[in-house]
Amino acid sequence: MSKTKIDLHEQEAEARESVDAIKAEARSNTTNPIVILLGILLLAMVLTYVIDSGAFQREGKLVVPGSFEVIEKDRSLSSLFAIPGSDEGADAAAARPVSLVGTLMAIPEGLSRSSGLIFMVLIIGGMFGILTRSGAIDAGLERLLSVFKGNMYVLVPGLMVVFSAGSSFLGLASEYLLVIPIMAALSERLGMSRIIGLAVVTVSVKVGYLTSVTNPIPLTIAQPLVGLQIFSGAGFRFACYLVFLIVGIAFMMVMVRRAGFSRTDVVEFSVERLSPRHMLSLLALVVGVGILVYASNRWHWHHDALSAYYIGLSLVLAALSGLGASEAANAFVFGMKKVLMASVLIGVATAVSVVLADGLVLDTVVNSLTNMVGGGGPVLAAQGMFVSQLLLDFLIPSTSGQAAVSMPILGPIGQLSGVPAQTTVLAFLFGNGLTNMLTPTSGTLLAYLATAQVGWGRWARFIFPLWVIFSIIAMVLLTIAVEIGF
C-alpha cells in the first residue's frame, strides 16, 4: 500500500474518532462546561451592578488594611449597553458597571492573560499525541501493569505519596500535566474510567497544596505578611499533610473499588520486553520530567519557559518514535485538537476575574468577607477566615494572588481576635486548596481536566464528597491549631 493511501486511512480514522467523540458528547446529559462558565461570567457582570464599587489603597500588589473606600458608581441602564472607552470625558474617579460589550471583550482579554497556560496545555496535548501514535504509551503501560500485576491497591497509594509530597514540599502542580494522560490511560487499560487516573494526580496535588509543608509558592508570600519566618510551623502542617493524605488515599481506594476494579478479575498483560524505540521514548519522558522538576524549581520557570521546554521534548520524542516528520506533525496537531475546547475554557474562566476587576467590585467582596471575621472568639474567627478564603478563591483562583490580597487584611484581624499567625496562614492554605479542587474558575484545574479529557460537571460530581470531608477535617484541624496556640 502506498504512503498516500496510508495517510488517507489515518486521516479517516482520526475523522471517525472526532465524529464519535462529538456524538458521545451530544448524547451526554451533562451540561457543557462552557455553558456553566458563560453563566458565571454573566453573573459576574450582574454583580458589578448590584455590588458597590470600591478599592483599597495598595503598596505594590499588597493592600493596605483599613484603607477601603466606596467609589461612586452610575447604575443607570445606559451603562448596560455602553462601549468601553467611549466615555473618555467621564470622571476617572467614578466607577461603572461592566456592560454587555465589556463582558464580551473580557473573553479575549481572559484568553490573552491566560495565553501562557493555554499554549502550554496545547503543546502537552500535542506531545502526547506523538507518544500515543508511536505506541510507546500503550507498551509502557502494559509493561508497568505486568510488573505490578495490575494491582491498583498498590499503585494508587504509592503514586499518591510521591505526587502529594512533590506538591507539599516543592510546590509542583503544572509539572504533573505530563503525568495525567498516562494515569488516565492506565485506568482505561484496567477497565475503569479516565476520571480515576485524573483523581489520583489531582487529589494528591490538592492534598499537597492544602498543607504546603515547605511549598514555596504560598508560604514565601503569606508568612512574611503576618510576620512569620518562611517555612516556619512545618511540623504541624506535616501532621495535617498525613491526615489529608490518609483520607485522600482511602477515598481513592473506595472509588477504585466502585469503578469495578477487583483483584479477583483476571487481566492479561503483555510480558514482552519493550522495543528499543519504545524504551528510548519512555526513558526520554522520565528523564524529561526529572529535568523539568529540577529546572522549574531551580530557575523558577513560568509558562513561556515551560512551553519552550515541552516543544523541545516533543521534538526529541518525535525523533525517537520512528515516525516520519509529517506523521509526527499530524500526530502533534491531533493531540492538540483533543484539548482545544478545554484550553478555551481556561480563557473564559479568567474572563470572570477580568469583569469583576473592571467593575471595581473585587475589593468590595474582599472587604465584606473579611468584615465577617473576628467576632465570637478565636475559634470562630479562624473558621470565619477559612470560609472567607473558600469564597474568595472562587474569584481569585491564583494562590499567590489570593495571598497578596487577603493576608495583609487577615493578619491584623487575627491579632485582634486572638488567632495565632500560623493558624491564619493555615486557614488561607485550607481555603485556597479546597476551592481549587472544585471551582470552574481555576485555570490549573481546567488544564488537568483538559489533558485527561474529563468534563468539569462529571469531575464535580465525583470529587464533591471528598471536598465535603476535607472541609470538615480542615475545620477540625483549625480548631486544634487555635487550642494548642499554633
DSSP string covering 403-451, please?
Answer: HHHHHHHHHHHHHHHT--HHHHHHHHHHHHHHHTTT-TT-HHHHHHHHH
pLDDT 10s digits, 410-424: 887 888 788 999 999
Q: Name residues whose C-beta falls within 8 Å of residue 83's C-beta, 6 or more positions apart in sequence.
A: 99, 101
How far apart, in whole angstroms, are the C-alpha atoms of residue 345 and residue 121? 12
Structure-model confidence comparison of residues 184 and 404, the more confident one: 184
HSE-CB at 52 with a 13 A cutoff on CA atoms is 11
Q: pLDDT grade, residue 187 (50/70/90)?
A: confident
Q: Which pLDDT score is estimated for 272?
A: 65
Q: What is the mean pLDDT of residues 152-160?
A: 86
Neighbours of 192 (CB within 10 A): 19
Q: pLDDT grade, residue 219 (50/70/90)?
A: confident
Strands (DSSP E) found in 31-145: 53-55, 58-59, 62-63, 69-71
How far apart, in whole angstroms, are the C-alpha atoms of residue 476 and residue 480? 6
60 secondary structure, DSSP code = T
Q: Which pLDDT score is estimated for 104?
A: 93
Q: Do 403 and 411 meet the contact criterion of CB atoms below 8 Å apart?
A: no
pLDDT 10s digits, 328-343: 999 999 888 877 876 7
Q: Name residues whose C-beta falls within 8 Å of residue 249's C-beta, 6 or more positions apart in sequence.
A: 156, 157, 160
Give me the phi and psi of 73, to 5 degrees please. -140, 140
How far apart, in whole angstroms, are the C-alpha atoms of residue 177 and residue 175? 5
How far apart, in whole angstroms, are the C-alpha atoms of residue 376 and residue 368? 17
Residue owning grid cell 487555635: 482
C-alpha distances in Å from residue 148, one per residue of 92, 156, 267, 272, 281 = 65, 11, 12, 15, 21
Q: pLDDT grade, residue 453 (50/70/90)?
A: confident
Q: What is the mean pLDDT of residues 159-178?
A: 83
Q: Which pLDDT score is estimated for 386?
A: 92
Q: pLDDT grade, residue 116 (50/70/90)?
A: confident
- Answer whether residue 93 shows pLDDT above 60: no
Mean pLDDT for all residues in the chain: 82
Nearest residue to 354 (alpha-carbon basis) of 5, 98, 145: 98
Q: Do 310 and 120 meet the contact criterion of CB atoms below 8 Å apart?
A: yes
- Answer whether residue 189 shows pLDDT above 90: no
Q: pLDDT grade, residue 166 (50/70/90)?
A: confident
pLDDT 10s digits, 69-88: 888 887 777 778 777 766 65
54 secondary structure, DSSP code = E
Structure-model confidence comparison of residues 424 and 370, the more confident one: 424
Neighbours of 251 (CB within 10 A): 17
- Answer whether residue 440 shows pLDDT above 80: yes
Percent pLDDT > 70 in the chain is 85
pTM: 0.74
Residue type, 348: V
pLDDT 10s digits, 387-438: 888 888 777 777 777 787 788 888 878 887 889 999 999 999 999 889 889 8
Nearest residue to 222 (alpha-carbon basis) of 435, 409, 443: 409
Q: Which three cell numbers stand for residue 465?
A: 464528597
pLDDT 10s digits, 22-68: 344 434 445 667 787 888 889 889 989 988 888 888 776 667 777 88
Residue 71, beta-bridge partner list: 53
Q: pLDDT grade, residue 207 (50/70/90)?
A: very high
Mode of pairing for the β-strands spanning 62-63 and 58-59: antiparallel
Structure-model confidence comparison of residues 325 and 94, the more confident one: 325
Q: pLDDT grade, residue 482 (50/70/90)?
A: very high
Q: Which pLDDT score is estimated for 271?
A: 56
Residue 253 CA, chain-centre distance (Å), reads 22
Q: What is the mean pLDDT of residues 269-291?
A: 81
pLDDT 10s digits, 254-277: 999 898 776 655 455 555 677 888
Q: Which pLDDT score is estimated for 169?
A: 86
- Answer whether residue 145 shows pLDDT above 80: no
